[in-house]
Amino acid sequence: MESFNYSGKTALITGASSGIGQVFAEKLAAKGVSLVLVARNQSKLQALANKLAKQHGIATLVITQDLSASDATPSILDQLNEAKLSPDILINNAGFATYGVFDQLLLDRQREEIQINCLSPVELTHALLPAMIKRGDGAVINVASTAAMQPDPYMAIYGATKAFLLSFSEALWAENRQRGVRVLALCPGATDTAFFDVVNAEEASVGKRMKADTVVNLALKALDEQRNYLITGCNNWLLGQLQRFVTRRRLLLIAEKILRPKTSKV
């Protein structure tokens, strides 16, 4: 089984300003991969781009973009075309979660969650995949979650979007495994990033948090192995197998109890 060849490659990473996205940028830069860094925080992106360009002598392009905007993908593509870049690696990492009782959460915020977690990866993959197929070489990593493994009460939209991303990624893996393009659904559990600062609920973090560095190292190893999906960590993998041993109803009741807000009277 051939390891992925990073020589001469360019990677586009969404959500690159922090957490898993930032670590992907650092690891790929160390392999000599040129970077297109996408996120909302221009100052953080530029600082990261400058640091990695200086350390590794790579080319970088910063694209400041809110992926919840309806014109986000066309804007990104326009800037890629202007720079005459066609990424060989796409890492759809940007995403966030809303937490709470579904009907009590703002619909607009949940709509943004679907846009960023689902529509943005679909649109970017649809735009960039054909050139990879034509070259017979490329990779797509979609950052899903262990939340994809079962419905998630109080994080209903988040779990559904990650289940979508897992299914979408595995279907693309099957379609493209003979066409030179690798597709990996990365399913980390709780990770030590700013993700839970946005969620603002400690009970949404299940299990010991893994370091982002470890998650990315495992993901790149899985890409070398041409895996279709990866659940990071033994305990997370075991939790992902519960659906094999208990009914969906029982699994839902377990998940509801674990994820229930501390202030809930349900």
Q: Which amino acid is at 192?
A: D
Cβ 15 vs Cβ 94: under 8 Å: yes
Taking CB atoms within 8 Å and a gap of at least 24, the contacts of 190-196 are: 191/19, 191/20, 191/215, 193/18, 193/19, 193/20, 194/18, 194/19, 195/19, 195/96, 195/97
Q: Count of alpha carbons within 13 Å of 189, Cβ hemisphere only?
A: 16
Q: Which amino acid is at 80?
A: L
* Letter string b/e over residues 105-116, b meaning 16 or more CB atoms within 10 A of that residue's CB: beeeebebbbbb
Q: In what order do the strands lie in the sheet with 10-14?
A: 60-64, 34-39, 10-14, 89-92, 138-143, 181-187, 229-231
For residue 247, the SS3 value is: coil
Sole residue written with tokens 């299914």: 167
Catalytic residue among 6, 99, 158, 229: 158
The verdict on whether 158 is a catalytic residue reads yes
Catalytic residues: 158
